[in-house]
Homo-oligomer: A and B are copies of this chain.
Amino acid sequence: MPSQTNNFAYVRGEILPLDNAFLHVSDLAIQRGYGVFDYVKVSQGHPLFLEDYLERFHASARMLHMAVPLSDKALRDVVYELIERNDMGVSGVKMILTGGYSGNGYDPAEPSLVMLQQPLSLPGQEMLARGIKIITHAYVREIPQAKTINYTMGIRLIEEIRSKGASDVLYQQNGVVTEFPRCNFFIVAQDGTVVTPDSNVLLGVTRKNVLALAAKKYKVVERAVTLEDVYQAKEAFLTSTTKRILPVVQVDEKTIADGKPGPVAHALLADLIQLEEEYCRQQVVR
């Protein structure tokens, strides 16, 4: 692990140096991969759209029958305390809730809440200008609406993604595409409609923001998206908290349109950056 002596984390009720942030091996995350998490981006000292992330964190916890041990007020206080003490710049605060220290290694106990702040590099100008290649893989996440810690498939595919010179993997099942391990997916259809899969996906906060921004300028629809739709699209792009909007120009061996990022992704990225800045300004005014 990287030594970060000035980085503080929250573990089961205590704020302590990240170097001392440990869970006992009886924790159900270690024993049974049982947990949910969420991740909010920090910019100019503000956790962007925190209310949306907290709402989803609670929803994920409920789907796994776990209770978040802190009130929203207390969660927010920890987020802000970590941001202040770590003084990290553009970064992310991750909150993980696990099944807790289980007596028999199977039955859930009092959940463990862990919160950490991690540095974050946004995609560079070159990547945005060139777009990325992605591969596809037949898979649907087990409980797509919940942000569980189960990334077995995504991590197992890292080697294949790299060996094919790609940047990420888009899940599909029977030719219907859904999401990336950590990002949502959009296309711009030939008639200019902005389209994103409507089911078997995590409801990303950036996805929600991009849908709202797109609706101001374009026709927008949430529906099933097939691989054939993707091949015929004018543009394709992914959205996520850490990547914002990243154009996709190649899917497996198929080039999308002319193989270059398009104007819709570009315009929406500018709008999203503006929305983030407005959010920060509003926080300051409060």
| A35: contacting residue among B21, B26, B30, CB under 8 A | B30
The answer, yes or no, to whether A188 is at the interface (CB within 8 Å) is no
> Separation in Å of the A63 CB from the closest CB of chain B?
8
Query: A11 to chain B: which residues have CB within 8 Å?
Result: 25
Q: Taking CB as reference atom, which chain B residue is nearest A115? A: B25
| A2: contacting residue among B25, B103, B182, CB under 8 A | B103
Query: A215 to chain B: which residues have CB within 8 Å?
Result: none
Q: Say whether chain A's binding surface is mostly helix, strand, loop, or mixed.
A: mixed
A65 to B160, CA, bound (A): 11
State which of A42-50, A91-99, A222-230 sits at the interface with chain B.
A91-99
> Separation in Å of the A9 CB from the closest CB of chain B?
7
A142 engages B149 (CB within 8 Å): no
0 or 1 for each of A23-43: is its CB under 8 Å from B? (1 = yes): 111111111111100000000
B30 engages A149 (CB within 8 Å): yes
0 or 1 for each of A123-164: is its CB under 8 Å from B? (1 = yes): 000000000000000010011000011111111101100000
B142 engages A153 (CB within 8 Å): yes
Query: A118 to chain B: which residues have CB within 8 Å?
Result: 104-105
Whether A143 touches B149, Cβ cut-off 8 Å, given contacts A65-B159, A94-B105, A107-B158, is no
| A32: contacting residue among B31, B63, B149, CB under 8 A | B149
B31 engages A96 (CB within 8 Å): yes
A43 to B34, CA, bound (A): 29
Query: A148 to chain B: which residues have CB within 8 Å?
Result: 33, 152
| A33: contacting residue among B23, B65, B116, B152, CB under 8 A | B152
The 6 A-B residue pairs with the shortest CB-CB distance, nearest first, are: A33-B33, A22-B22, A1-B101, A32-B151, A33-B149, A33-B150
A1-B26, A142-B142 known, 17 other contacts, Cβ within 8 Å = A1-B102, A18-B25, A21-B24, A23-B23, A23-B30, A25-B96, A30-B35, A30-B98, A32-B151, A32-B152, A32-B155, A33-B152, A106-B155, A107-B158, A142-B152, A142-B153, A143-B152
